[in-house]
Amino acid sequence: MLRAVLVSCVLFSLYLSSYAQSCAKYNFASNQVFSSCSDLPYLNSFLHWNYESSSKTVRMAYRHSGVTASKWVAWAINPRSQGMVGAQALIAFQKSDGTMRAYTAPITTYQTQLQEGDLSFPVSDLSAVYSKNEIIIFATLKLDNLSSTVNQVWQDGPLSGDAPAMHPTSGSNVRSAGTLNLLSGESRTTQGSSNSKTKKRNIHGVLNAVSWGILMPIGAVFARYLRVFPSADPAWFYLHATCQTSAYIIGVAGWATGIQLGSESPGVQYTSHRTIGIVLFCLGTLQVFALLLRPKREHKYRFYWNIYHHSVGYAVIVLSIINIFKGFDILNPENKWERAYIGILVVLAFIAAALEAYTWYVFVKRKKSAASQKMSNGVNGTNGHNGNGARV
């Protein structure tokens, strides 16, 4: 009997839970009625709307439950593509004085601060309420230039004072996007597309960090310091050439993934990152061909070739490191990856400093040895090896 009662209670609680979480059963306190609704699959969110196809007007309410007063919520339509960048967002949160703020914000970059601005379509009757750990955004949208199927994005994140801070970059927060048919009510998520783009961005970052950011400085260390060791000559040149060529090939692959990402993200531009990447590609190409056209050591142009090759090489290393950190700012990965790269740079710098000190030690020692040998030869030439005199 107790088991039957327990099962009945569990089933009844599940029924109440499903009843409470179903958008179709929800009644608005303002007695507003919406003919269509969708239970969004992530972040405890629900969308209610009325769509007038003749005027392409949408009267909507976006509900985001399970949030505290220290969070912001957002719902957006992306007229150009799927995902975050390009989205035209409605933002709402409760301010520190207890009042609600609701405003519009166009999102043009992944580093957005959700600044207030006009959207690409008219918005009216925008308001928001917060009650029982739920924020509801009300608005009327005029979608003249859009079809009845739209790309939607919804999100939540913490507040920093009375301003939105960055939302989490894992779990449901990176899956909350999809398409919505305003006529049929059918909605689909775009998790596969989003994951694919995220994977390409990560591949692009890894390839460029390994090639331009790690292999290129290692190649420079080989070129400058291994020649000090007699046993490493001419192996130092082949190690240097191998590192530089490998860095170039891997870097070209990373550059290609960047071009592909750019073509898949219209309107998304990182001008300085792209410009430095193009410059690196051109300089890297020159460096690879310079290795093939290197004059022999005794050639009269070898001195000028050394100046050119070293100057371009150091410029590539500096620009590569700058662009890697710009990439970190764009991808915004976990801090451990940026710290790991900084650690690699510190280790390389320590090795370079130690080898630089040893190089100067060898240089001074060889110079002293050469001077001593010259002096010894001078004495022998004056006095003779047997002490009986000799012609100079």
Q: Residues within the annotated binding site for heme b?
A: 204, 240, 273, 309
Three-class DSSP category at 155: strand
Crossing angle for the helix pair 235-264 and 271-292, nearest 10 degrees?
150
| Pairing status of strand 134-142 against strand 187-189 | unpaired
Q: Which of 203, 281, 294, 295 is nearest to 247 (CA)?
A: 281
Residue 22's identity, in one-letter code, is S
For every residue of 290-306, DSSP letters joined together read HHHTPPPTTSTTHHHHH
Burial of 51 (C-beta count, 10 Å sphere; 0-12/13-18/19+): buried
Residues making up the binding site: 204, 240, 273, 309
Q: Which of 166, 251, 243 is nearest to 205 (CA)?
A: 251
Crossing angle for the helix pair 271-292 and 302-331, nearest 10 degrees?
150
CA pair distance 114, 357, nearest whole angstrom = 51
Three-class DSSP category at 31: coil
Residue 229's identity, in one-letter code, is F
CA pair distance 39, 308, nearest whole angstrom = 63
CA pair distance 126, 137, nearest whole angstrom = 7
CA pair distance 272, 186, nearest whole angstrom = 41
